[in-house]
Structure 1
Amino acid sequence: MFYVSMFFQYMGQYMKTRLQYRADLVVEILSDLLNQAVNLVFILVVFGHTQLLAGWSKDEIIFIYGFFLVPYAIFSSFFNIWDFNDRYIVKGEMDRILTRPIHSLFQIILERIELESLFGAVTGLIVIFYAGSSIGLEIAWYDPILFIVFAIGGALAYGAIFIAIASIGFWSDAKNSIMPMMYNIGNYGRYPVDIYNKVIRFVLTWILPFAFVGVYPAAYFLGKKEWYAFSFATPIIGLIFFMIAVVIWNQGVKRYRGAGN
């Protein structure tokens, strides 16, 4: 209950802060929407030159992209730790974090929340309904429940990767990090994994499970039975990788010795 209470207190303070600068908030939301629109246009351009991509139709890939936007929006809202190494290790803010009686990772997540990123989930749902109606998908009563479970699982998998990468800062306090490169690799999860070679497919499934953010869970709703096992493994993979990431984080915190002078 203590952590739940802290969560809502941070949410309240965040909303007060953001609403003080409404114009900035609106510009940021519009910027995110524009970025998503550009990615969607890229898919449309690709299918302007072909009808199928490794057996996937245009509407199916648009559906995958729409699904990807939902867990990605959750990730962007609650796992905004791309500058952890520079801000908390190099500049020493981790010292402040460790003086408080709350888990360090939980506190950093709450400090860096960006709830406006959740609008990306709305965009994703719109894209999903558009693509789904074009394909003629039928929705069962339990599909919305599975959708939520898969989306949370995908967000946990995405967050786990970046928590593990951020934890490297406890061993290496270099200002530069591999975060930007990893964000680019994460874009591979927006497309079907079978368009890549076996090595990339293996990496995106078992090492950097970005495929569980988009294509694998979306494959269930698209009726791709050959991917069902991966679809239902999404929440399990997300939870396992997240737990591993937290263990790595905790070990890194034990190693941390302060910023020094």
Structure 2
Amino acid sequence: MFYVSMFFQYASQYLKTRLTYRIDTVIEILSDLLFQAVNLIFILIVFDHTASLGGWNREEIIFIYGFFLVPYALFSSFFNIWDFNERYIVRGEMDRVLTRPVHSLFQIIMERMELESLFGVITGLVIMGYAATELGLTFAWYDVLIFISMVLGGAFIYAGIFISIATIGFWSDSRTDIMPMMYNIGNYGRYPVNIYHKVIRFVLTWILPFAFVGVYPAAYFLNREEWYGYAFLTPVMGIVFFSISYLLWNAGVKRYRGAGN
């Protein structure tokens, strides 16, 4: 309950800050929506030249993209730590974090939250709704619970991967370009993995499991029974990768010796 209370206090302060600069907040939301629209237009352009992609039609690809946006929005809202190395290690702000009686990872997640990214959840649901209507999909009441568990699993997979990368800063305080590269690799999870080479499929499934953020869980709702096994692994993969990142983080904090000059 202590951490729940702290979350709402952080969220309240964040909203007060963002509402002070309303125009900036609106522009940022519109920029995110424009970026998502560009990705959707890209899919539409691709299907102007082909009827299917790896056995998936246009509406199915659109549904997968819409699903992907939901866990990605949660990740972008609460695990925005792409600049951890430069801000907290190189500039020494980690020293300030460690003086407080709250877990360091929780503090950094709260300090870097961007709640306006949650609008991506609405966008994703709208896109999924459109595609589901076009495909004539029907859902059972328990699909809501399955959807929530898979969305959380996908968000934790993303979080686990990027937190693990951030922990490199505890062992090496030099700036790296791994984060941007990993963001680019993560985009492959928006599309069916069977369109890639088998090596890439293996990486996207077991090494950097971005496929569990998009295509695998979405396949369940698209009634692709051959993918059900992977779909139901999504929450498990989320727990595994986030747990690994948590252990790496704690190990890194123990190694951290403070900022020097």
Which TM-score applies when normalising by structure 2?
0.99
Distance (Å, rounded) in 2 between the aligned partners of 1:188 and 1:111: 29
Distance (Å, rounded) in 2 between the aligned partners of 1:212 and 1:34: 25
- Show CA shifts across 1:11-61 (max 9, x none): 111111111000000000000000000000000111110001110001000
Look up the match of 1:64. 64
Q: Secondary structure at the match of 1:52?
A: coil
Q: Secondary structure at the match of 1:14?
A: helix
1:184 aligns with 2:181: no
Look up the match of 2:128. 128
Q: Secondary structure at the match of 1:113?
A: coil
* Structure 1 residue 80, shift from structure 2 partner: 0.2
Distance (Å, rounded) in 2 between the aligned partners of 1:47 and 1:173: 45
* Structure 1 residue 141, shift from structure 2 partner: 1.1
Distance (Å, rounded) in 2 between the aligned partners of 1:175 and 1:189: 26
Distance (Å, rounded) in 2 between the aligned partners of 1:152 and 1:75: 9
* Structure 1 residue 5, shift from structure 2 partner: 1.0
Gaps (5+ residues) in structure 2?
none
Q: Would you say the 8 A contact 1:86–1:176 is kept in 2?
A: no
- Show CA shifts across 1:178-208 (max 9, x none): 1000000000000001011111111111111
- Show CA shifts across 1:144-183 (max 9, x none): 1111111001000011000000000111111233100000
Distance (Å, rounded) in 1 between the aligned partners of 2:197 and 2:209: 15
Look up the match of 2:221. 221
Aligned AA (2:126): I
Structure 1 segments (4+ residues) deviating >3 Å: none
Look up the match of 1:18. 18
Identity of aligned residues (%): 72
Q: Secondary structure at the match of 1:54?
A: coil
Aligned AA (1:242): F
Distance (Å, rounded) in 2 between the aligned partners of 1:196 and 1:77: 29
Distance (Å, rounded) in 2 between the aligned partners of 1:39 and 1:177: 24
Look up the match of 1:35. 35
Count residues in correspondence.
261
Aligned AA (1:225): E
Distance (Å, rounded) in 2 between the aligned partners of 1:192 and 1:260: 47
Gaps (5+ residues) in structure 1?
none
Alignment of 1:151-230 (within 5 A): 151-230=151-230
Q: Secondary structure at the match of 1:53?
A: coil
* Structure 1 residue 143, shift from structure 2 partner: 1.0
Aligned AA (2:204): L
- Show CA shifts across 1:226-252 (max 9, x none): 110111110011011100110011111
Distance (Å, rounded) in 2 between the aligned partners of 1:234 and 1:175: 32
Distance (Å, rounded) in 2 between the aligned partners of 1:187 and 1:72: 10
* Structure 1 residue 2, shift from structure 2 partner: 1.1
Distance (Å, rounded) in 2 between the aligned partners of 1:168 and 1:246: 13
Look up the match of 1:241. 241
Distance (Å, rounded) in 2 between the aligned partners of 1:205 and 1:104: 30
1:106 aligns with 2:106: yes
Q: Would you say the 8 A contact 1:85–1:177 is kept in 2?
A: no
Distance (Å, rounded) in 2 between the aligned partners of 1:154 and 1:44: 25
Aligned AA (1:231): A
Distance (Å, rounded) in 2 between the aligned partners of 1:14 and 1:207: 35
Alignment of 1:135-154 (within 5 A): 135-154=135-154
Q: Would you say the 8 A contact 1:163–1:249 is kept in 2?
A: yes
Aligned-pair Cα RMSD in Å: 0.6
Aligned AA (1:147): F
Aligned AA (1:171): W
Which TM-score applies when normalising by structure 1?
0.99
Distance (Å, rounded) in 2 between the aligned partners of 1:255 and 1:83: 20
Q: Secondary structure at the match of 1:40?
A: helix
